[in-house]
Structure 1
Amino acid sequence: MYTRKIFPVKDMAMWTRYETITFFIVSVLEVGLFVFSDHLIQFPFTPVALIGTAVAFIIGFQSNSAYGRIWEARQIWGGMVNTSRTFGIMTMDFINNDHARVPMTEEELYETKKTVIHRHVAWLTAMRYAMREPRVWEYVMNEHTNKEWSQMIYVPEKHEKFEEVISRYLSQEEIDYIGTKTNKQTAILYLQSNHLRRLKEKGFIWEFSFLEMENVIKELLTHQGKSERIKNFPYPRQFASLLHYFTWIFLAILPLAMASQFGEIAVKFNEKMDGDFNWIVWFAVPFSMVVMWVFHTMNRIGRVGENPFEGSANDVPISAIARGIEIDLRQNLGETADAIPKPFEVRSDTQM
């Protein structure tokens, strides 16, 4: 998955522009209410500071949890890379005529290895499509600016149908088989294991080599289960909902409390200096906007990272990882450059 070059300050400002406008309007209205009520309508700053401290702690917890989910997902898919390379080496070296009852020709051996490698690529394909399937709790891409951001990145699973892609790697019989199964990636590993067993029974895989390859399939199933666990278990909604409410309560009362503080400063200036310094109260508007923007943006960054396979710019690049594995395996299989697919579309110089 690729996106354009990112300029953090500019892009962050554009990403949060609607919230920034909201913060400006709220700040002006509340500070104006404070000023035109002759300082009668105000809010003490101490409770607001206490609420802000609690919100900051919860935002920190959310950010750490979201980053933990992203990092775990990246480790799982990194493990898939290593395990896939191991499986590719075993396929090339363990499938041979050394113990065969009826030896195959070199061409037949190559086609057998190719079938096994392509079936593994089919498993990777099924995995990335399964991870991209939407869940009811995945809401980040429904936000307006996130929809805009999604136009800047390329997510292959949203542009290519699974049936068309999987047909490049499996026979029609295998496609019909996995079509009847809910978990298609598991079904593909069942097919892979069954094929290896049949090769072992015919002597094309030595028994101990067969056990080693089965252990690798077991490891692939472990990676699959870990990835599915992250996909199917959301960040606890009670924490997310409470943080959302607490944050907006804090943001709603902050400008009034900030106006009260600047009102006290204006009074002190009026007492000690000759002049009218009531205009100082309006400094509460920009200061409130900065604090509101920081708290809300940190909250939103945490929310974006909750689901690392949703298809946002902050996701784990599972499409690029899977395609990289495919290219590696098929090159070592000895396929021609024309037959091997290219890396996914690069829309600029930044990979996501």
Structure 2
Amino acid sequence: MYTGKVYRLFDMARWTRFETLLLIFIIIIWVSAYYFLDLDWFKIPWTPLALIGTAVAFVIGFQNNAVYGRIWEARKIWGGIVNTSRTFGVYVKDMLSNEHTKENVPQEVIDKEVKAITYRHIAWMTALRHAMRQQKKWETTSNHKTNREWGIKPPEKETTLEEDLKPYLSTTDLDYVLSKNNHQTALLYLQSNHIKSLKDQGVIWEFSFLELEGLIKELFTLQGQTERIKNFPYPRQYATLNHYFMWLLLLLLPMAIVPQFIEIGKEISENHPFFGSIFIWFSIPIYTAVAWMFHTMERIGRTGENPFEGTSNDVPISTISRGIEIDLRQNLGEDKNQIPVQFPENHGVQF
């Protein structure tokens, strides 16, 4: 997620420079044809073009609203993961005790169980963020040259899931989790089984067990919600047709703008012949500005379709997960020097 104070115009211009150069090339070709070949009779009335422009503006607005809804829903889901994780960590630390055991369990054993459950929850978040970063065939935004040239990647692209899970799981748990297709679901199964075994020993009171199981249920719900966004793309019929409609408008627009500038140039020629003869060339910056706005708004919509793809405008799930981990491990009383630091920003981007 881009965290700069202002999304600088320079950055936006650099991000869209290849498309901008293409738009400039298109309008120069049209202006040159009109200027040198005397094609001022070849034009399109503004009325049909205005209708096309209105339709394109409508579908771009619809796309951007829908995409923003996907991003905002994804952020709310991960906000729920933050709250539920903190609650789970507090409950686990406070609810494991000797109060209802038949035989006294050493405190160091209880502390070990608390740490195992807490670390398994951190492993669940790690597996979930890795699953969200797996690229789907419709996630193509990160492949664009202007998104790759910065050379920045989310942490999940730098390490493997197994490497990230090793610090938090026993060898038996790690082998079990990696043998399953849905690693995060496997971790919640292990979590539930572990809590049940502690309930059977009396380390967890039955009512406390129900509270913890309710939190695991909530984690399953949040996991399912974030997987739904990941696995169901923005409908292709809207995204694809929107892209084609936008380019249809941009390709037809010169046949209305350039003749209009020719007519204005003829009026100017009555008093200022030289300026009137070159006025047609002023259509280049006007067309470029209008076309750039339409194209950039459409591209912004395409960029935000997949909020977990791993681009600079995504929900920063890696940063969120690491923040929760820091909170949980501090709650265990671990030394700050033993706790991983927050993932660094890169070019003002959080992942």
Q: TM-score range by the shorter chain?
A: over 0.9
Counterpart CA distance in 2 for 1:246 and 1:108 is 65
Change in CA separation of 1:323 and 1:45 when aligned onto 2, cut-off 3 Å = same
Aligned to 1:56: 57
The 5 A counterparts of 1:1-352 are: 8-38=8-38, 39-149=40-150, 151=151, 153-270=152-269, 273=271, 275=273, 277-347=276-346, 351=350
The question of whether the paired residues in 2 share the 8 Å contact of 1:131 and 1:309 is answered with yes
Counterpart CA distance in 1 for 2:230 and 2:289 is 35
Deviation (angstroms), 1:325: 0.3
Summarize deviations over 1:278-312 as a string: whole Å, max 9, x none.
32111111100000100000000111000000000
Counterpart CA distance in 2 for 1:6 and 1:182 is 41
**RMSD of aligned C-alpha atoms?**
1.7
Deviation (angstroms), 1:2: 7.6
- How many residues were matched structurally? 349
The question of whether the paired residues in 1 share the 8 Å contact of 2:119 and 2:168 is answered with yes
Counterpart CA distance in 2 for 1:143 and 1:346 is 21
Where does structure 2 lack aligned partners over 5 or more consecutive residues?
A: none
Counterpart CA distance in 2 for 1:56 and 1:2 is 26
The question of whether the paired residues in 1 share the 8 Å contact of 2:312 and 2:349 is answered with no
Q: SS in structure 2 opposite 1:200? A: helix
Change in CA separation of 1:341 and 1:280 when aligned onto 2, cut-off 3 Å = same
The question of whether the paired residues in 1 share the 8 Å contact of 2:195 and 2:209 is answered with yes
The question of whether the paired residues in 2 share the 8 Å contact of 1:6 and 1:350 is answered with no
The question of whether the paired residues in 1 share the 8 Å contact of 2:71 and 2:304 is answered with yes
Q: TM-score, normalised by structure 1?
A: 0.95
Counterpart CA distance in 1 for 2:250 and 2:16 is 15
Q: TM-score, normalised by structure 2?
A: 0.95
Code of the residue aligned with 2:97 in structure 1: it is N
Deviation (angstroms), 1:348: 5.8
Q: SS in structure 2 opposite 1:134? A: coil
Counterpart CA distance in 2 for 1:339 and 1:311 is 28
Code of the residue aligned with 1:71 in structure 2: it is W
Q: SS in structure 1 opposite 2:268? A: helix
Code of the residue aligned with 1:273 in structure 2: it is N
Counterpart CA distance in 2 for 1:308 and 1:340 is 28
Code of the residue aligned with 2:111 in structure 1: it is Y
Summarize deviations over 1:243-281 as a string: whole Å, max 9, x none.
1111111111112210011122123334x5363513211
Where does structure 1 lack aligned partners over 5 or more consecutive residues?
A: none
Deviation (angstroms), 1:3: 7.4
Deviation (angstroms), 1:345: 2.4
**Runs of 4+ with deviation above 6 angstroms:** 1-6
Summarize deviations over 1:312-332 as a string: whole Å, max 9, x none.
000000000000000001101
Change in CA separation of 1:117 and 1:330 when aligned onto 2, cut-off 3 Å = same
Which segment drifts farther, 125-134 or 5-14? 5-14
Counterpart CA distance in 2 for 1:231 and 1:20 is 31
Code of the residue aligned with 2:284 in structure 1: it is V
The question of whether the paired residues in 1 share the 8 Å contact of 2:344 and 2:350 is answered with no
